[in-house]
Amino acid sequence: MVGTRKLLAIGLDGATFDTLLPLVERGHMPNLAALMERGSWGRLASTIPPFTAAAWSTFITGRNPGQHGVLSFRDKRDRFHYDLQGTGFVDARRYDLTIWDILSTAGKRVGIVNVPMTYPAHSVNGYMVTGMLTPPHVAQFTYPPELAEALGSDYVIDLDFIRDEDSFRICGFPPKTEMMAQIRHMLSVRARTCSRLMQEQPTDFFMVVFTSTDRVQHFFWDDLANMIARPSPNGTADAIERQIAEYFEELDERIGQLTELASPSATVLVISDHGFGPAPTHRFYMNIWLEQLGLLQRRGRASFLDLEYWRVMLGRNRHLKALLRRLMPQAAQDKAKQVAESTSGGIIDWSRSRAYFVPLYFHVGGVEINLAGARHEGIVEPGRDYELLRDRIIHQATQLQDPRNGKLIVELAARREELYQGPHVESFPDVILVLDPDYICSASLAGSSLIEFHAPMRSGEHRQDGIFIAAGPSIAQRGELSNLRLLDVPPTILYSMDLPVPSFFDGQVLKEAFDPAYLSAHPVQSQEWPSIPRAAEQAEQAGFSEAEQAEIEGRLRGLGYLD
Ligand SMILES: [Zn+2]
């Protein structure tokens, strides 16, 4: 029976058991409950940072970020000239060898729908519909290209919340009920498409990622939490809470339909790339902290007239911020942001600074050392000076307390090579800090205190733990498992399909999820792979055009991903 095993993987972007368990217990999600009941499940540790780009890249390649190099949506960063944000966007050509390539090479037919970071589509043994970071108006988001037409004109890759450049009412989000309606439309169109594809073009491996879970939790975390806190699910007259309950019910129904369409011999996986929780309510000013340690020097004091100062002051008031966003044309907002950023960068005296902050994701930040030779005005000598400075920063970070309540601010402070391994580690910030998720890292040098209140634009933000649920004939009925990592999912997929695991994968097969009989009949096999320099081969090809980059940027901003 070698090679006959099939697999259905359903990705729920950002799904967390913190919300799913209460919904399951209340009977909102009977299909998910059934999978958990007959299989094994547990919290799934994401990448650091717990972010869509880094996490799905790890899933797609089976490798840690040090190997694939992706920590954010941005592609390139000119560290020599102190570019902190980066430019361009990651595209799928950067991955040498993907899990789809491995399955295709093993003769498995694959169907891949809406996995983030898969654009541009490339040839597989089967078909592919690309996901998040696909430019909004490209025709070729499928392999084979003619599949695009078969998907129909109502197929949506992602949402575009209000992008009316000519109107003065831009950049405020639309009414909640309208947003929910768009999110639910996106879910049902995607699910219908998948049902049709599974029936008309059956595969050995089928995977879809529903990004609507991430969007619902970013924008409606508060409402979701309120809904869950109510003693009875139907005890609310609140229209949004009802819509959210209906959204999760529909999601569950769709999971049931896809599971039904999978072969009875198939393993069914439900996974997420990271978890979710309430958005941070405090700002931690990383550069001010480095300045207080004597590691960062500024050219002059920020004045009350400084645009950056006003941006921070206004940013503290959510209503004022929302109002400004509505009133100011996008072009003016972009200009203000550019000026503010250059002001902020212009404040730092690089020739006298030893370390500075590099943003990664909300509560996860990097500290970069101003290394002689590697930076335009680098002053820290490599070797002993560099190591001593990193030790000092890590030591100081672990002592950091919120002065108002004594709470430790930093949950994890580590040298980059302690968290990542591979050729890209050198391009990551020298020290990585993971803050308590109630604190967002800020680069600003306006203000004078280390910590201030923060008024988030979206009520939910990412957390470290996603979800893992597995069910099927080879899976044990084991209930909750612990110590699961996203990195372990790709080898587990190959193993459950009775395939050897490439030796370059960084994770382990999650053996504890499997039936003892399957385990003893199928010892885990490792396989050497010749390197397939697909990325090198395709590096010659053009990346995103300027117009495409602008469109992606607009969409990410519309979703609140870019400030
Ligand atoms: Zn995500």
- Ligand 1 centroid to Cα of residue 184, in Å, is 18
- Ligand 1 centroid to Cα of residue 481, in Å, is 22
C-alpha 321 chain-centroid distance: 25
- Ligand 1 centroid to Cα of residue 18, in Å, is 16
The pLDDT assigned to 539 comes to 46
- Ligand 1 centroid to Cα of residue 213, in Å, is 9
The pLDDT assigned to 456 comes to 87
- Ligand 1 centroid to Cα of residue 369, in Å, is 29
CB within 8 Å of 101: residues ≥ 6 apart: 124, 532, 534
- Ligand 1 centroid to Cα of residue 276, in Å, is 9
Helix (H, G, I), strand (E, B) or coil at 270: strand
Please compute the mean of the pLDDT values over residues 178-187 and round it to a whole number.
92
Helix (H, G, I), strand (E, B) or coil at 355: strand
Sign for the pseudo-dihedral over CA of 492, 496, 497, 500? positive
- Ligand 1 centroid to Cα of residue 165, in Å, is 27
- Ligand 1 centroid to Cα of residue 110, in Å, is 22
CA distance 313 to 302: 13
- Ligand 1 centroid to Cα of residue 167, in Å, is 30
| H or E stretch covering 167 | none
- Ligand 1 centroid to Cα of residue 59, in Å, is 12
Lowest mean pLDDT among 84-93, 297-306, 410-419, 434-443: 297-306
CA distance 48 to 66: 11
CA distance 362 to 48: 12
- Ligand 1 centroid to Cα of residue 52, in Å, is 3
CB 208 within 8 A of CB 113: yes
- Ligand 1 centroid to Cα of residue 486, in Å, is 12
Dihedral Cα 117, 123, 126, 132, nearest 10 deg: 20
Q: Which of 115, 180, 178 is nearest to 142 (CA)?
A: 115
Q: Answer yes or no: is pLDDT of 167 > 50.
A: no
CB within 8 Å of 291: residues ≥ 6 apart: 297, 298, 445
- What domains can be seen in the chain, in order of their start residue? 7-278+462-558 (3.40.720.10), 282-455 (no CATH)
CA dist 558 → 457, 550, 552, 561 (Å): 12, 12, 10, 8
- Ligand 1 centroid to Cα of residue 248, in Å, is 17
Please compute the mean of the pLDDT values over residues 319-333 and round it to a whole number.
60
- Ligand 1 centroid to Cα of residue 159, in Å, is 14
- Ligand 1 centroid to Cα of residue 196, in Å, is 25
Please enumerate, as own/partner, the contacts of 394-399 that have beta carbons within 8 Å and a separation of 24 or more: 394/431, 396/293, 397/431, 397/433
- Ligand 1 centroid to Cα of residue 14, in Å, is 5
- Ligand 1 centroid to Cα of residue 211, in Å, is 7
Q: Answer yes or no: is pLDDT of 399 > 50.
A: yes
- Ligand 1 centroid to Cα of residue 15, in Å, is 9
Residue with more model confidence, 560 or 123 = 123
- Ligand 1 centroid to Cα of residue 306, in Å, is 36
Q: Which of 72, 557, 98 is nearest to 358 (CA)?
A: 72
CA distance 384 to 355: 15
pTM above 0.85, yes or no: yes
The pLDDT assigned to 380 comes to 97
- Ligand 1 centroid to Cα of residue 13, in Å, is 5
Q: Looking up tokens 């890759």, which residue turns up?
A: 157
Q: Looking up tokens 């050392």, which residue turns up?
A: 369
- Ligand 1 centroid to Cα of residue 132, in Å, is 10
- Ligand 1 centroid to Cα of residue 153, in Å, is 26
For residue 537, what are its two tokens?
């081969």
CB 380 within 8 A of CB 389: yes
pLDDT tens-digit readout, 205-250:
999 999 999 999 999 999 999 999 987 756 667 889 999 999 999 9
pLDDT tens-digit readout, 276-292:
999 999 999 999 999 99
CA distance 505 to 273: 17
- Ligand 1 centroid to Cα of residue 382, in Å, is 36
Q: Answer yes or no: is pLDDT of 41 > 90.
A: yes
CA distance 107 to 128: 16
- Ligand 1 centroid to Cα of residue 274, in Å, is 6
CA 136-138-140 angle, 5° bins: 135
The pLDDT assigned to 328 comes to 59
Backbone angles phi, psi at 462, to 5 degrees: -70, 150
Phi-psi region of 304 (alpha: psi -120 to 50; beta: other; left: phi over 0): alpha
Please compute the mean of the pLDDT values over residues 79-107 and round it to a whole number.
89
Please compute the mean of the pLDDT values over residues 155-177 and round it to a whole number.
61
Strands (E), 173-300: 205-210, 267-271, 275-278, 282-285
CA distance 286 to 360: 12
- Ligand 1 centroid to Cα of residue 212, in Å, is 10
- Ligand 1 centroid to Cα of residue 294, in Å, is 37
